[in-house]
Amino acid sequence: MNQVPGDEVPWWSQPLPTSTTPATSTPATSTPAMSTTPLASARPKLPILFMLALALVAGVLGGGVGYFAAQYSDDRVTSDVRGPFTDTSDGRALTTSTSTIERAPGSIAGIAARVLPSVVSISTESNAGSGTGSGFVIRSDGYILTNNHVVADAANSTGSITVQFNGGKSISAEIVGRDATYDLAVIKVNLTNLKSLVLGDSDKVVVGDSVIAIGSPLGLTGTVTTGVVSAKDRPVSAGGRFDSQNSFINAIQTDAAINPGNSGGPLVDATGAVIGINSAIASMSSSRGQSGSIGLGFAIPINQAKRTAEQLIATGKSSHPILGVSLDLQFAGPGARISTLPGAVVTGGPASEAGLLSGDLILSLDGRNVANAEELIVAIRSHAPGDKVKISYVRAKKTIEVTVTLVAAPAN
């Protein structure tokens, strides 16, 4: 698909002819190229050997955790010794110890205990097959937030959606609204008095913050993993095979283990507040199928997700901010160059009103350097229609700064 004058070149479109620039990563020359993989997964059928391996790992971990607790317990752990007991086989006395652990509300266990009741596993059935993903309750009257690619198959064919809560209760769900641009969807179950999660402020997240990812990787419900925020503002893509587009995400990067099936689950901070929605993982482009976690997971910032969810609940649709230009995806950077095709700057649009012209090279938005067209797109999409942004650009070797008021994209 060639550029369509009058809007940003959609990231899901093909670049200008002969372009081979990847939209999601800049691989190091010493390693294979990497791409991002959406995390909804086909429902797994665990082979016997895999189940045995899981059992073995669980046994090994159990011993390790016991040793860790014994060696690193604090003054909130109390212990008493019961016994002796007699082993009737040889008469030797056995001693057993029981511990009462007072887990602080801010501990990983304490946070998980509060969050898990609001996290759900989502199963879909459609003509395309079955799949699983995750989601979480955002309103007590049954509204659940997840990724669009988790439910897209069921929405675009004769399909069904089933939600399973952490306690095991299952119930059917309906789609309230979907937004493929941001890879978000809201579904609803016919239940009330649900426990909703607290939504945090993703703008306040900093690199190094501790985080917890919760979801249903590989269909294993209620899985909790931990890590830190590795980076912010990563332009990555995610999306489903039935959508005409993927989604550029201005993502939070984390090293918490995230795998297929985690899509739509919450990424929470050290207070238990949701700061992101787990959506994609990095994988080697040469690998076949979906790979597991390699310590590079990506989440949609909750501030963006909250705006979109509120719109979907209110109207079933959401709006997206645009600059009103077409970008040249063949341009290697640094910066994002406005296309020289006719109509690349929409007459009367935000960029036009601010004086931008075809061929201008945009270097930054609100002080954030722009390496390429994809970074500019995600930077714009992190805002809302009506927001004013400062754009720095170069024309004829002269750097110019202007203020632009973003507008909503025309409805499809």
For residue 58, tell me if it sits in a domain. Answer: no
Give yes or no: residues 251 and 212 share one domain: yes
Give yes or no: residues 291 and 338 share one domain: no
Domain limits for position 212 = 34-38+199-302
Q: Which of 123, 237, 263, 283 is catalytic?
A: 263
Q: Which of 149, 247, 318, 364 is catalytic?
A: 149
The beta strand positions in 102-159, using DSSP E, are 119-126, 129-137, 143-146
For residue 291, tell me if it sits in a domain. Answer: yes
Q: Is 183 a catalytic residue?
A: yes
Give yes or no: residues 352 and 284 share one domain: no
> Could you tell me if residue 272 is left (phi over 0), alpha (psi between -120 and 50 degrees) or otherwise beta?
left
Report cis status (omega within 30 of 0) of the bond before 84. Answer: yes
For residue 237, tell me if it sits in a domain. Answer: yes
Q: Please write the tens of the pLDDT for every residue from 107-127.
A: 999 999 999 999 999 999 988
Q: What is the tally of structural domains in the chain?
A: 2
Give yes or no: residues 262 and 325 share one domain: no
φ, ψ of residue 114 in degrees (nearest 5) = -80, -35
For residue 96, tell me if it sits in a domain. Answer: no
Give yes or no: residues 257 and 218 share one domain: yes
Contact at 8 Å (CB) between 45 and 33?
Answer: no
Distance (Å, whole) CA 7 – CA 109:
47
- Other C-beta atoms closer than 10 Å to the C-beta of 215 total 32
Give yes or no: residues 334 and 387 share one domain: yes
Amino acid type, 243: D
Give yes or no: residues 349 and 386 share one domain: yes
Q: Is 149 a catalytic residue?
A: yes
Give yes or no: residues 341 and 283 share one domain: no
Residue whose C-alpha is closest to residue 277's, from 285, 267, 268: 267
Supply the pLDDT for residue 86.
53
Give, in order, the Cα–Cα distances in Å from 58 to each of 53, 216, 221, 279, 390: 8, 17, 16, 27, 53
Supply the pLDDT for residue 165.
96
Residue whose C-alpha is closest to residue 327's, from 367, 365, 375: 375
The beta strand positions in 205-310, using DSSP E, are 210-215, 223-238, 247-254, 266-268, 274-284, 297-301
Residue 312: how many CA atoms within 13 Å on its side-chain side? 27
Give yes or no: residues 291 and 203 share one domain: yes
Q: Which of 183, 269, 328, 360 is catalytic?
A: 183
Contacts of 203 (CB under 8 A, 6+ apart): 301, 303
For residue 231, tell me if it sits in a domain. Answer: yes
Q: Please write the tens of the pLDDT for every residue from 312-360.
A: 999 999 998 999 999 998 898 899 999 999 999 999 999 999 999 999 9
For residue 248, tell me if it sits in a domain. Answer: yes
How many residues comprise the chain?
Answer: 412
Strands 170-179 and 129-137: unpaired
CATH number at residue 360: 2.30.42.10
φ, ψ of residue 248 in degrees (nearest 5) = -75, 130
* CA Rg value for the chain: 24
CATH number at residue 203: 2.40.10.10
Which residues are 302's β-sheet partners? none
Supply the pLDDT for residue 404.
96
Supply the pLDDT for residue 249.
80
Which residues are 161's β-sheet partners? 124, 173
Supply the pLDDT for residue 410.
83
Supply the pLDDT for residue 31.
32
For residue 309, tell me if it sits in a domain. Answer: no
Tokens linked to 201: 């402020």
Supply the pLDDT for residue 175.
96
Distance (Å, whole) CA 370 – CA 372:
6
For residue 192, tell me if it sits in a domain. Answer: no
Give yes or no: residues 357 and 288 share one domain: no
Give yes or no: residues 327 and 356 share one domain: yes
pLDDT tens for the chain, 412 residues: list them: 444 333 444 333 333 333 333 333 332 223 333 456 566 665 544 443 333 333 333 333 344 434 333 333 343 434 444 555 555 566 677 777 677 778 888 899 999 999 999 999 999 998 888 899 999 999 999 999 999 999 999 987 678 999 999 999 999 999 999 999 899 999 999 999 999 999 999 999 999 999 999 999 988 999 999 999 999 988 887 654 444 455 778 899 999 999 989 999 999 999 999 999 999 888 665 445 555 567 789 999 999 999 999 999 999 999 989 999 999 988 988 999 999 999 999 999 999 999 999 999 999 999 999 999 989 998 998 899 999 999 999 999 999 999 999 999 887 6
pTM of the model: 0.74
Contacts of 81 (CB under 8 A, 6+ apart): 95, 96, 97
Give, in order, the Cα–Cα distances in Å from 215 to each of 7, 19, 119, 136: 36, 37, 7, 9
Give yes or no: residues 365 and 280 share one domain: no
